[in-house]
Amino acid sequence: MSYRCKRILMSVLGVIICGISVGMYKRAELGVDPFQSLVSGLNACIPITYGTLYVIINLVLLSFAFIFDKKKIGLATLINLFLLGYVAQFSQELLTKLFPELSFPWKLFLLLAATVVMCFASALYFTADLGVSTYDAVSLIISQKQTKVSFKYCRILADLTCVILGTLLCLFSGYSWGQVFTVVGLGTIITAFFMGPLIDFFNVHVA
């Protein structure tokens, strides 16, 4: 297999695995990753399918990457934009059918597994260097082009912003606090503080 084919394969697998991890988060019902908490908050206010809304939001973020650093846009960006939301929606529905009832320990296990899987998947398409997701591009561009601050700290700041906005949107749409915690919960807090460092680790030691 040629070097370029390997890079393409890493990009495609990275995006698909990332979508599966989002479905795992949503099935665990202990809080999704920070960006998905923002998407879920918007989805609570805008009654369209999750996959379609994900595409629309990422088209908006794509304009930021296009203006400030076109090099971050590539094959993986387009695959992520049009595929990840629907993979996440499908994987959540499949997990719900396979495991209609989950105890708290199993939910916690699914949450932790989803965090590791998502960080590994992100590192795959980062290393392939064929473009990144529009959300990842924001932190990378701010880190590399604007502030020279480490990526992991830019990612933490971006994640915390998404968590706050996602929470406010869920409350505004009429969610009870119990419903809010299925979107912005333990998993969101874990990923907000540890996704940046974990992706950094997988970039260096695995991908």
What CA–CA distance (Å, rounded) separates 96 from 73?
A: 34
Which whole number is the average pLDDT over 108-119?
A: 91
Query: How much is the pTM?
Result: 0.80
Tokens of 93: 């529905």
Cα–Cα distance list, 156 to 32, 138, 141, 189 (Å): 15, 12, 14, 10
What's the pLDDT score for residue 170?
A: 93
The separation between CA 204 and the C-alpha centre of its own chain, rounded to angstroms, equals: 20
Residue 169 has pLDDT above 90, yes or no: yes
**183-196 residue pLDDT tens:** 888 888 887 777 77
> Domain-by-domain residue ranges, the chain?
3-205
Residue 135 has pLDDT above 90, yes or no: no
